[in-house]
Structure 1
Amino acid sequence: MANNSSSGRQLKTLETAAELVDIIQQQSGMSIESLAKELNLAESTIHGYVKTLENNGYLVYEDGKYHIGLEFLNKGGHARTRKPEYDFIISKLEDLAEQTGERVQFIVEENGKAYYVHTSIGKNAVQVDAHIGKVIHLHASSAGKAILAHLPEDRVKQILNQWGTPAYTQHTITSEEELLEELNTIQERGYSISDQESISGLRAIGVPICSQSSGHPLGAISLSGPAHRLKGEWFEQDIPDIILAVVNEIELDLEYH
């Protein structure tokens, strides 16, 4: 049976509903009047969208504004656990966070973007916006670059053509040529480095978790912390060695689990 995921016409009504939900999330709640202005649609049209979404649990009305509803949590919880490998990988992250004292993330690629599937917080972890479900461009994070480095070249080009390489900070690699060179280095080295490329003042090490049979990445583990603490031998050798050992164990366990 043919895969039609990239073919077929898009439905304008669904595009509008998705845009409406995105705006409500970004603004932490919106009124019908504000949504109508933002989307340049009649209030009666917006009312139809929000009531349909509300009736199905995707929006909730509080204090004069519509907010994201918990039905998204229901769907997100299913998406997060639908692959049994994810639960096994996640179970290994608490020990890694405890051992290093830093923040550890499990990130996967879907539709050309990086999604935070899990975060474990060590005792010294800094507070950053790394919530479960967060979405960022792959090129701007250590985990994302680790994943890109182990995808087929044509898939990497497709992702870069679709989403580009926007700058998150002044340190983000935005040149496609420079990025491709770094991906080759990551593939040879086995891990990636982010030096304040997604958040100023934050460094990270990322290691891909690859299927032993296909070689394709299931996702990547990254460890992040403040630049003043993640430096020298601790950052350049100790942390990579620790994460590589954990990933090696995970890959072996997944292969024979």
Structure 2
Amino acid sequence: MCKHNRVRVKSTATTFDVIDSLKELDHPGLTEVAEFLGVPKSTAHDYLSTLIELDFVVKEPEGYRLGARFLEYGGYARESMKVYRVARPVVNRLAEETGEHANLMIEEHGLGIFLYKAKGDDAVNLDTHPGMRVPLQTTALGKTILAHLPEDEVRRIVNEHGLPAVTEKTITDRGALFDELEGIRERGYATDDEERVEGMRCIAAPVVNQNDVIAAVSVSGPMSRMHDERFENDVPRRVLSAANVIEVNMTYS
């Protein structure tokens, strides 16, 4: 019985490895998938064929790709989260007011998950998208979440995921991170100064519900517009206000 369970778990893990390979490789062929996974082509073919049969994978002339059925699950997962439903109109208004990107992030399994983003009229193009996972310490959103988690939970996350560098300004030192988190708690919001994307700055505030941090909201924009009074006062004030509105609506909706 135990052996059978281990086999089933391994099979499930391999299925998701196949799915990840299609995301990483972008329309790969059968040989590319097999090489990426380190398995025989016959094994890769069996998994891909099953996923095609279940409508999760599509085979096109240029290679395999993830099917639109994943949108059904992703959309359901997001719509089932109260914080998304409550925060969405607030994030939309924040983007409209600032003209920049406004974002909503949650923490899940020690990573930051972009749950929603709205684009203002002046916003530049960024690589972020709903469902994108990033190391928490690389963003203002993630840092403000870390700042309001118990210290032992922060240490567990750092032990598991490390402090990977994304740009030259990403925090990669534990001591520097904990100093930063203390400053965030004192200030009430977090900043990101080119720590994930060169040339971009971000302000983020936590969304707290019943003393637990459940999300973070932010505004991000290019350094040419995010400086002086706007970066130090105007945007932080708007972001803090948005976070407070979400918190109140979470309580009374």
Query: For this structure pair, what is the TM-score category when the shorter chain's length is used for normalisation?
Result: over 0.9
Report deviation, 1:11: 2.2
Report deviation, 1:12: 2.1
Report deviation, 1:64: 4.2
Q: Which has the higher helix share?
A: 2
Distance 2:127 2:183 in 1: 28
Deviations 1:126-155 (A, max 9, x none): 101011111101000000001010111111
The code of the aligned residue for 2:92 comes to E
Range with bigger deviation, 30-39 or 167-176: 30-39
Q: Corresponding residue for 1:234?
A: 230
Q: Corresponding residue for 2:89?
A: 91
Kindly report the root-mean-square deviation, in angstroms, between the aligned alpha carbons of the 2 structures: 1.4
Deviations 1:140-193 (A, max 9, x none): 000000101011111111110000000000000000111011111111111000
Q: 2:167 is paired with a residue of what secondary structure?
A: coil
Which of 34, 37, 41 is matched with 1:36 structurally?
34
The code of the aligned residue for 1:92 comes to V
Matches within 5 A, 1:1-257: 11-211=9-209, 213=210, 215-257=211-253
| Bigger relative contact order (CA 8 A; separation at least 6) | 2
CA contact (8 A) 2:148 2:185 kept: yes
Range with bigger deviation, 148-157 or 15-24: 15-24
Q: 1:60 is paired with a residue of what secondary structure?
A: strand
Range with bigger deviation, 10-19 or 53-62: 10-19
The code of the aligned residue for 1:256 comes to Y
Aligned residues: 248
Q: 2:238 is paired with a residue of what secondary structure?
A: helix
Report deviation, 1:40: 2.1
CA contact (8 A) 2:206 2:215 kept: yes
Report deviation, 1:125: 0.2
Distance 2:100 2:150 in 1: 31
Distance 1:231 1:239 in 2: 10
Distance 1:209 1:225 in 2: 21
Distance 1:108 1:89 in 2: 12
CA contact (8 A) 2:84 2:116 kept: no
CA contact (8 A) 2:21 2:37 kept: no
The code of the aligned residue for 1:249 comes to V
The code of the aligned residue for 1:201 comes to G
Report deviation, 1:222: 1.1
Which runs of at least 4 in structure 1 moved beyond 6 Å after TM superposition? none
Distance 2:140 2:166 in 1: 13
Q: 2:247 is paired with a residue of what secondary structure?
A: helix
Distance 2:218 2:17 in 1: 30
CA contact (8 A) 2:217 2:242 kept: no
User: Percentage identity across aligned positions?
Assistant: 36
Distance 1:166 1:50 in 2: 32
Structure 2, unmatched stretches of 5+, are none
The code of the aligned residue for 2:197 comes to I
